Amino acid sequence: MKIITTFIFTITIACILLVSFAYSGFYDVSARSPHSAFTNWLAPMAMHASVKRRSKEIAVPDLNDEALQIAGISDFDAMCKSCHGAPGYPAEAVGKGLNPPPPDLKESASAMTSAELFWVTKQGIKMTGMPAWGATHDDEDLWAVVAFMKELPNIDAVSYESMLLSAKGMGHHAGDNAGHHDTQTESHDESEHQLHDAADSTAEASGGAGTEHDHSTHKHGN
């Protein structure tokens, strides 16, 4: 009985101290001050465990489709590059100022399954700056981005540019990729969904030839 009373007393004091600390303003919320080693260990671990569990049941469509991958690059360029960077492009100001920093998706694409990449892209990650693209985009649009992301480990700066050119007119953000642009100022027009038409029209030409990759040997960067 004495042990239980001591335990409850200790927990109560710990809670009071924690809440007092939160109210005191001593905690530094600046995105420029680094997280503690404990947070750096706990947060990524909890995030990846959560993503793994929640993406288990997702049925992955055939992503080895060149037309789909090319359609995905327009959207990747418009929606992801500003924070995550892209082959030949470092992250822009918005990405450089975030804490935790947006990881290099080339690494993530090697370390995460397609279902996990899709889940994160669609649902976003709380309190990090990673948006839930599912709030504004259809699954089909997001699968195209995932199909492209899976190719990232094989894409250098030169092939990124040439893929962007061949993607002209394809993808949800069709037309956004004609050269360098400021992605922060774009607005999303849901009537622009051209992915399927564009992908269908080129599927025959490309023959849907994709490459199979072995992601099992890679380590996760963050």
Site membership for ligand HEC, residue 166 (CB under 6 A): no
Site membership for ligand HEC, residue 102 (CB under 6 A): yes
The site map against ligand HEC for 171-210 (x = CB under 6 A) is ----------------------------------------
Measure the CA–CA gap between 154 and 140, rounded to whole angstroms. Answer: 23
In the block, tokens 């399927």 appear at 196
Site membership for ligand HEC, residue 50 (CB under 6 A): no
Residue selected from 61, 87, 131, 169 as contacting ligand HEC according to rule CB under 6 A: 131
Site membership for ligand HEC, residue 60 (CB under 6 A): no
| Structure tokens that stand for 137 in this block | 């985009």
Residue selected from 68, 70, 83, 167 as contacting ligand HEC according to rule CB under 6 A: 83
Measure the CA–CA gap between 32 and 23, rounded to whole angstroms. Answer: 21
Residue 6 or 180: the one with the smaller Cβ distance to ligand HEC is 180
Contact 63, 213 (CB under 8 A): no
Binding residues for ligand HEC, rule CB under 6 A, total 27
Long-range contacts of 100-104 (CB under 8 A, 24+ apart): 100/35, 100/43, 100/44, 100/128, 100/129, 100/222, 102/129, 102/130, 103/221, 103/222, 104/221
Measure the CA–CA gap between 89 and 91, rounded to whole angstroms. Answer: 7
Stretch that binds ligand HEC, among 7-15, 123-131, 154-162, 205-213 (CB under 6 A): 123-131
Measure the CA–CA gap between 181 and 89, rounded to whole angstroms. Answer: 12
Residue selected from 55, 69, 100, 147 as contacting ligand HEC according to rule CB under 6 A: 100
Taking alpha carbons only, the member of 183, 167, 210, 166 closest to residue 63 is: 210
Site membership for ligand HEC, residue 153 (CB under 6 A): no
Residue 4 or 135: the one with the smaller Cβ distance to ligand HEC is 135
* Binding residues for ligand HEC (CB under 6 A): 47, 79-80, 82-84, 94-95, 98, 100, 102-103, 105, 108, 117, 120-121, 125, 128-131, 133, 145, 149, 220, 222
